[in-house]
Chain A
């Protein structure tokens, strides 16, 4: 079977276009290789389109800086492309991406210097959504931001990403009971804060 043109739209990536439109037949690689590349590319595009927003949102809450979060998301997806063959179960794609993201974020701290800004000056959530009726939401957002990382991260995973207790436990390397305890404490602290309207002062207690 000879080489074929897989697509004719500019929506297709440069790489596929290069392979498919311009390579003379006598130097074209084996058709099955091209077919695999096309399948991989389509899978990657689907992954980006389906999960880029969730992965970015999660990154912002993890990193607390939008600009750095975007950089880490970019690294995450580039890494995902390289390892795409290892993703066997499409249903696990979101958890797989979050695993890569957390690893990429950890890599920032392994370097001699890394990019950071003062997180006290950064509000991670969308300020434009605020209105008079959103004051409570703003207070809640501040309270979530001030939760200790060990409480906030499982909460974000559960509420925003829709992960189960087992999935969170696997991501964080904890047992499920510990995860459920942290979720319990996170919510009870938030509820107490929102009920008493006391100054936001949230501390980890194990």
Chain B
């Protein structure tokens, strides 16, 4: 093995088990030192590549998957299965019982809202650039004024990909869902369970659903959403 091949082999993999490389390094202190330099560089690269993982990421992934499956199962099964699923999910997520006759989108919106605490960004509000980057998927833009946005995650309502914004309200967390009008089943203009109130409306070709705990606050939140959100066709 010539000098160039020795170096190339180590540059490509400082942790190589190549026997020729090991023998050459054993016989030549300079080569051994070079190998040591590359191992140090690799340790530095590993440190430089470190990335913080969001808190509760595993929990979020598991929860979203379970809600997604539950939603699909409910769509496939007869009414008694759907009712059983409703009760079970309510028990698991510790929120008030949902009216089983509710349409699927409203139902799924309330399910997602019930785990908002897990979703919120612990490091404070998101910047508008991040939110608008996600809204671009729906040809939407938002200006300041809705409130502190604590989370902007995609989720599935009745198997339709939607953007779920969680906003800090005066009395708890408010939720806003954005989803395309096309392909979605009809949604009640207002819906509720024992804990949450939801409103649904159209902005251009986009459906918006807002959910909160306080009736007067949800009305003003809805108005702010109409003032700050805009969608192009």
Contact = CB atoms under 8 A, between A and B. Distances in A.
Interface of A: 10, 13-15, 17-18, 21-23, 27, 44-45, 48-49, 52-53, 56-57, 60-61, 65-68, 70-71, 73-75, 77-78, 81, 111, 113-117, 124-126, 128-129, 136-138, 140-141, 144, 155-156, 158-160, 165, 180-181, 183-185, 187-188, 190-191, 194
Interface string B119-133: 000000010011001
Contacts, number: 168
A22 B87 contact: yes
Most interface-central of A18, A138, A160 (chain B CB within 10 A): A18
The 6 A-B residue pairs with the shortest CB-CB distance in the complex, in nearest-first order: A13-B66, A18-B88, A180-B12, A184-B11, A22-B84, A141-B48
Contacts of A44: 65
B82 to A, nearest CB: 10
B15 to A, nearest CB: 9
30 contacts: A13-B62, A14-B69, A14-B70, A14-B85, A15-B69, A17-B92, A18-B70, A22-B85, A45-B62, A49-B58, A52-B57, A52-B58, A57-B51, A67-B130, A67-B133, A71-B134, A73-B57, A73-B61, A74-B64, A74-B153, A113-B136, A116-B133, A117-B130, A125-B49, A126-B52, A128-B52, A138-B48, A144-B48, A183-B12, A194-B44
B61 A74 contact: yes
B201 interface: no
Interface size class of B (residues with CB under 8 A): 35 or more
B47 A14 contact: no
B93 interface: yes
A52 B130 CA distance: 22
B190 interface: no
